[in-house]
Amino acid sequence: MPNLLHIDCSIRPAESVTRQLTALFAECWRTENPGGDHTYRDLGRSPIPHIDEASVMAALLPPHERTEAQRQAWTRSEPLITELRAADTIVIGVPMYNYSIPSTLKAWLDRVTIAEHMVDDSRTKSGVLEGKHVLVVTARGGAYGPGTPRAEYDFQEPYLRAALGQIGLATHLHLVHAEMTLAYSIPHLSQFSNIADASRSAAEDHVRRLATARS
Ligand SMILES: Cc1cc2nc3c(=O)[nH]c(=O)nc-3n(C[C@H](O)[C@H](O)[C@H](O)COP(=O)(O)O)c2cc1C
């Protein structure tokens, strides 16, 4: 049965562009996959604890060798790992915060990036999570495309390609960006609202196409 893992991490509950775009993807996906499972995880409203030593050790040890603290720590990582493994399609909404990703998403990545998931670079060149289709939808207050003054400040896309790639989630990875979103809320940027509108509209079209193409 098709299984969608849908993750948001914007701190904005209502006006969030990434939440609206991931919701659009999920809506199209559900229409195309009426019997499919849709798992939703909201890291913005319900942040998960940052990684700690007990969590790292728990991931390396068999269950019967874990201390009580490590068993407790594992209860915070295991549901995330189970959700990730069960999904064949993953959509992640990622606001740009300080040129990179929200710390709540970093906490999720730290918990699902375990030894068992790492791509074996030396021998098989593959990993157990490979084959999943991943869509990352970002929203940025400014613009970071090629040729823009801030192009080199985009630490979001290169980071996500590397971090998802090391656990085998970049073989079918698409990134879609909605840019200049601050044109709607900062008066002196309102002159760029036509760029924001065009970027948002292109992102919506792309998201719809990807949701349909996956079915
Ligand atoms: C804490 C914080 C940091 C931000 N840092 C940046 C940034 O470095 N570059 C940028 O272009 N926009 C930045 N923004 C603006 C957001 O990327 C923009 O509002 C985006 O639309 C947020 O995603 P959302 O609409 O899903 O909430 C920042 C916003 C916040 C709240």
Q: Which residue has the tokens 């603290």?
A: 69
Residue 187: pLDDT over 60:
yes
Ligand 1 centre distance from Cα of residue 98 (Å) = 7
Output the average pLDDT for the chain. Answer: 96
Dihedral sign from CA coordinates of 46, 110, 204, 179: positive
CATH code of 3-47+84-102+126-213, in short, is 3.40.50.360
Residues 158-174 have pLDDT tens digits of 999 999 999 999 999 99
Report domain extents, the chain: 3-47+84-102+126-213
| Of 22, 97, 184, best ligand 1 pocket probe by most atoms within 8 Å of the beta carbon | 97
Q: Can you tell me the distance from the alpha carbon of 211 to that of 89, in angstroms, rounded to the nearest whole number? A: 10
Residues 48-71 have pLDDT tens digits of 999 999 999 999 999 999 999 999
pLDDT score, position 215: 45
Q: Can you tell me the distance from the alpha carbon of 189 to that of 31, in angstroms, rounded to the nearest whole number? A: 37
Ligand 1 centre distance from Cα of residue 21 (Å) = 15
DSSP-derived pairing of the beta strands 37-42 and 3-8 = parallel
Q: Which residue lies with its CA nearest to atom 22 of ligand 1?
A: 95
Residues 109-135 have pLDDT tens digits of 999 999 999 998 888 878 999 999 999
Ligand 1 centre distance from Cα of residue 9 (Å) = 12
Q: Can you tell me the distance from the alpha carbon of 117 to that of 94, in angstroms, rounded to the nearest whole number? A: 22
